[in-house]
Amino acid sequence: MFCEMGGLNMGIGINGMGRIGRLVLRRLASDSKLMESMPVKAINMSYPAETIAHLLKYDTTHGKLNGTVEVGDGESGGGEGWIQWRHSRCGLSPRA
């Protein structure tokens, strides 16, 4: 299910880490084959990365996330994968 168009590898950008954004990321992170076929390249969020990492790790509805969640400088992740995060009210836009 990996997308490749004209030699460009495609990935997913999540615009917002509310209930649905966190649920999508948790689902992708729980299945390594799924995350490999649809890698998350960037996340746009309005809250600090530390807050989002905590909400992702400890969800009151879906329980504790298996695995690690860490926050670095401009990216977050754990284990093998790191995801770039941004704070923008205009959404995600490709880099020039």
pLDDT digits (tens, 9 = 90+) for 42-89: 888 888 888 888 998 898 888 898 878 878 765 555 545 667 777 666
Share of the chain above pLDDT 90, in %: 7
User: Positive or negative, the Cα torsion across 94, 88, 43, 68?
Assistant: positive
Q: Name the CATH architecture for the domain at 12-86.
A: 3-Layer(aba) Sandwich (3.40)
pLDDT-derived band at 7 (thresholds 50, 70, 90) equals low
Q: Where are the beta strands (DSSP E) in 1-96?
A: 4-5, 8-9, 12-15, 40-44, 58-59, 63-64, 70-71, 75-78, 81-86
